[in-house]
Structure 1
Amino acid sequence: MTTTFQANEKVLCYHGPLIYQAKVLKAEIWTGTDPSEGGFTGPHYFVHYQGWKASWDEWVPESRVLKFNDENITRQKALILAAQNKGKEKEQERQAAAAASAAASSSAGGSKDSGSSRKRPRDSDEKGRRGGSAGAAGAGGASASKRGRDAVGDEEEFLRRPEIKIVIPDALKVQLVDDWENVTKYDQLVPLPKKPNVKDVLKMYRDHVLEERKKRESKNSKDSKDGATGSGSGSSRLLTQPLAVLDEVLSGLELYFDKALGNNLLYRFERTQYLQISKGAAAAMTGRNRGGAGFSAEEGKSKREVTPTGGQETEEKQPSEIYGAEHLLRLFVNLPSIIAHTTLDADSVVILREHLDDFLAFMVKEKPKLFASKYEVASPAYHRVSLV
């Protein structure tokens, strides 16, 4: 029996539900005769997880070790994204349960206060004052009770609203994980202002739909001469809907993006960059050494760095004119919860979901054009400001 992996080989290794990059330090065939083997047999590897302390080094069976290749890296990123989404779902469930509990407590507390206010004595000045206070409490309790009932009613109405599920294509799931790692693990930033920006991306999609409509009209004209009929797929329906519907969807996406970016679409490390941009300062350096940038001219040839201030004033712009596809894709992860708070009916939700699915397919097709191939390395000066 031989081992599949060799000492000093870079691998991927399961640790719990996730996969991590690791290095094989030792490779052995266990027979189960050595007490230290715990009765286990077969190939085992002593691995060190990249970036972890040596105290986490451990022996693992071959079933937990994977080849370091593109297929397994994609599997690793998919598991990370699934874990992130599961965490978000649990947090949403926790918040919903807390809201329901608060509403129920408010309702019960209001009824109790209202009942006790009727029993307050009023046969002396002191008791009268107490009675007056109790009366006010009773009125407040009744109001609280009504608010509690309203809150419960609002929650029931919210739960009755049609749910929208957005399926993120696998290629974009990988993009999301890469984006998350670049910012949160490697302290890198999307170069801003981004080209194409969100407005540009939405216009590109609109132009794409118009082009597809022209192709469909040409095909239908030919099919009508041949006696053929078109299909009734979701994509076909999109191409026959009024252009005003498409424009409304795109306008809504732009509006949601502009409103959501500052509060919901940024990682903590990006907030300094956002604050600089929102104040009208250019946050990106072009690779030239402008003094205090924290890197040499030679380094500037190979990478860009972000500094706390760029020294170049820009006119105030909306986030959709500054940020690009990276942050727009993050919006799609949050869209179901955002849309859940709207008053869209079931038919509108179906139409919207078809448009969003088609838009995501467009992003996959145009991925090389839409997403940054390289992120910027944050300078020491940026790190200092971001830690304040």
Structure 2
Amino acid sequence: MQPKRKSAKSNDTLDTRGRKRTRDASVDIKTEDKQNEPAFRLAMPKTLKGLLIDDWESINKAHQVVKLPSTMTVTDILNRYLKNRKSHDEMVEQTIQGLKLYFNHSLNTMLLYRSERKQYDNIHGSYPDKELTDIYGLEHFLRLFGKVRWLMSRAQPLFFF
């Protein structure tokens, strides 16, 4: 048991054990939420969300894997997008290059399900000189968009001087 202490203001004894200063948690939560929230929002149509769910179920429940190399690769999808755009500015091309870079670097660590790892090792060994965007297709590309908000919230800003 903790000894009772005398207050400096009065002769009464006070038990100070277990007393903590209260803090306004609502202010901290709001501040933390704003700091963790990405600066942008990416809306994904319900049809694409449905494709992601179907993809997850076929791999994790039915134990199937996507046939690789894909007939329509990530590079094909992005090139088709560029071709159908009315204007070609540098920002769009940089964004496409950034998406390819994110995909190539995050596929093995973030976008593959555990049951796809062996297939990745085999396909990567069969095509060592190919970019992953030239092997994988829509299913894996959609997974990137499912994680792009999280990735962007942790990305370091680039400054060019």
TM-score using structure 2 length: 0.71
Deviation at 1:195, TM superposition (A): 1.3
What's 1:248 paired with?
A: 94
Q: 1:195 aligns with which of 68, 71, 75?
A: 71
Q: 2:130 aligns with which of 317, 320, 326?
A: 317
What's 1:335 paired with?
A: 148
Deviation at 1:279, TM superposition (A): 1.7
What's 1:258 paired with?
A: 104
Residues 1:256 and 1:191: Cα distance change in structure 2 (over 3 Å): same
Deviation at 1:196, TM superposition (A): 1.1
More strand by share: 1
Residues 1:344 and 1:270: Cα distance change in structure 2 (over 3 Å): same
Q: Specify every segment of 5 or more residues in structure 1 that has no aligned partner in the other structure, as ranges.
A: 1-155, 214-238, 281-313, 346-388
Equivalents in 2 of 1:343, 1:273: separation in Å? 32
RMSD between aligned alpha carbons? 2.2
Q: 1:169 aligns with which of 21, 26, 45?
A: 45
Equivalents in 2 of 1:181, 1:187: separation in Å? 8
- 1:163–1:336 Cα contact (<8 Å) kept: no
Residues 1:266 and 1:160: Cα distance change in structure 2 (over 3 Å): closer
Equivalents in 1 of 2:155, 2:143: separation in Å? 19
Residues 1:161 and 1:179: Cα distance change in structure 2 (over 3 Å): closer
- TM alignment of 1:154-303, pairs within 5 A: 159=35, 162-209=38-85, 213=86, 243-280=89-126
What's 1:131 paired with?
A: none
Cα offsets for 1:233-276 (capped at 9, x unmatched): xxxxxx5xx61011011000000000000000001111110011
- Greater radius of gyration (CA): 1
The count of corresponding residues between Structure 1 and Structure 2 is 126
What's 1:354 paired with?
A: none
Equivalents in 1 of 2:152, 2:135: separation in Å? 24
- The alignment partner of 2:69 has SS state of coil
TM-score using structure 1 length: 0.31
Runs of 4+ in 1 over 4 A off after TM superposition: none
Deviation at 1:161, TM superposition (A): 7.6
Equivalents in 2 of 1:317, 1:272: separation in Å? 18
Residues 1:254 and 1:168: Cα distance change in structure 2 (over 3 Å): same
Residues 1:160 and 1:173: Cα distance change in structure 2 (over 3 Å): closer
Q: Specify every segment of 5 or more residues in structure 2 that has no aligned partner in the other structure, as ranges.
A: 1-31
What's 2:3 paired with?
A: none
Query: Which amino acid in structure 2 is aligned with residue 194 of structure 1?
Result: S
* Higher-RCO chain (CA-CA 8 Å, sequence separation at least 6): 2
Equivalents in 2 of 1:175, 1:197: separation in Å? 16
Residues 1:272 and 1:344: Cα distance change in structure 2 (over 3 Å): same
- 2:36–2:153 Cα contact (<8 Å) kept: no
Identity level (%): 35
- The alignment partner of 1:196 has SS state of coil
Cα offsets for 1:69-115 (capped at 9, x unmatched): xxxxxxxxxxxxxxxxxxxxxxxxxxxxxxxxxxxxxxxxxxxxxxx
Cα offsets for 1:156-186 (capped at 9, x unmatched): 8x92785222111000011011100110000
Query: Which amino acid in structure 2 is aligned with residue 273 of structure 1?
Result: Q
